[in-house]
Chains A and B, each alone.
Chain A
Amino acid sequence: MRRVEPCAPVTQTFETFYERELTVQVRRAVLLVGSREAAEDLVHDAMIEVHRRWASLDHPAAFLDTVVVNRCRDHLRRRLVRVRAVARLRPPDPVDAVGDVLDDALARLPFNQRAAVVLRFYEQMTGPEIAQVLGCAEGSVGPWIDRALRTLREALR
């Protein structure tokens, strides 16, 4: 599932890069922010950022990874206040299926834990790769995943 950066990026056009990355990035963003529409907009804006810097980027896929994750983080921060307000007004949704429980529990995880889980279990990234995308120390990734799995296990009981 993990894609590989081309060996000779100078021969890669932005158009082929865009087509190769689009679906992967949007799917990842959907898992991070929970909304398909928001995910498409966030990835689109990140692609604009990549396109602007295209000539100076040695590793555009790595740059795009970071920009998309950072934009997802910012998006969730901005949404947080609104979501909290709605949560106070609305009774909890009845959940019975495992998938619903997992979605709900994933959405409640702190962003770094959620992102680490998505990158590990959906993207099958290694610890160092996750640390690079999230811009954190490698030693942080394992504990985040452990804590996230503990939370998810409790939610599934």
Chain B
Amino acid sequence: MTDLDAVLRDHLRRRVADVHPASRLDDVVGHGARPDRRRRSVALVAASLVVAGLGVVAVSGPDDAVAPRATVGPTMNDHWHLAYGLLLCGTWYELHGDGEASPSYGTTGVHSHDDGIIHWHPFTSESTGRRARLGLFFDTYGVDVTTERVMLPADQPAARDVDRAQQRCDGPVSVVVWPDVDDPSHAEVHTDDFRDIPITSDRMAIAIVRAPPGTPVPLPPSVDRLPRSG
């Protein structure tokens, strides 16, 4: 062991010797969200009510994230439709192709029809119930969404435009979810763990956004193409 090893070991131990975190077990088990996050969630909904009917929310910073909602999810008998769009540096994009050539489509049944609508039509339990998560849609198209960037696969016609656009603008990636497009005053802003966002109902709307915090985000244009029922 070198001197530096010993110095490091000693330093790291001393650095956290007085860290004794208080238990938040009740919060974890009982509610699944930090108390401060719940307050922010309420604040977000209240702010959205100001623009009720317009479906416009403001993208929050990372500290304003809301905890994912409890999920029920679709069953094998469902065929849900969700409006989506990618709002990257001020421009809306939609993915090209139906995604049915993707390996994941065969088991998840998650696809689209060049129409800005996610068709959530589970073929197996891989995309039902609590397993119904936004990441399955990303897998269908090979889209990679991190907290810093949205990357489309090279076979997407908009891939280069999306890449160039993001080189010219700042701001983190957020995902705005409207659980029911018929109630546009209620929206949730997610700032991480995008793949784990639960799919909880027919007629949701999802905007994948890269923009500075505070930017207003309207409902995706494809909401007008949503069928009335699944």
Residues in chain A within 8 A of chain B (CB atoms): 14-15, 18-19, 22-23, 26-27, 30-31, 36, 39-41, 43-45, 47-48, 51-52, 74, 77-78, 81, 98-99, 102-103, 117-118, 121-122, 149, 152-153, 156
Contacts and interface: CB of A to CB of B under 8 A. Distances in A.
Given A14-B29, A44-B28, A51-B28, A77 B21 contact: no
A71 to B, nearest CB: 8
Nearest to B27: A44
A48 B29 CA distance: 8
Contacts of B228: none
B229 interface: no
Interface in B1-46: 4-5, 7-9, 11-16, 19-21, 23-25, 27-29, 32-34
Interface string B96-118: 00000000000000000000000
A85 to B, nearest CB: 11
Contacts of A149: 4
Interface string B141-160: 00000011000000000000
A36 to B, nearest CB: 6
A103 B7 CA distance: 12
Contact of B8 (A40, A45, A121): A121
B4 A26 contact: no
A100 B210 CA distance: 37
A102 B14 CA distance: 12
Given A41-B34, A98-B11, A156 B147 contact: no
B52 interface: no
A43 B8 CA distance: 24
B76 interface: no
A22 B27 CA distance: 14
Contacts of A153: 4
18 contacts: A18-B25, A19-B25, A22-B21, A26-B19, A26-B21, A30-B15, A40-B21, A44-B28, A45-B34, A48-B28, A51-B28, A51-B32, A99-B15, A102-B8, A118-B12, A122-B16, A152-B4, A152-B8
Interface of B: 4-5, 7-9, 11-16, 19-21, 23-25, 27-29, 32-34, 62, 67, 147-148, 170, 172, 191-192
Given A41-B34, A102-B11, A156-B4, A36 B24 contact: no
B4 A74 contact: no
A114 to B, nearest CB: 11
A23 B14 CA distance: 14
A121 B29 CA distance: 33
Contact of A103 (B15, B29, B32, B191): B15
Contacts of B14: 99
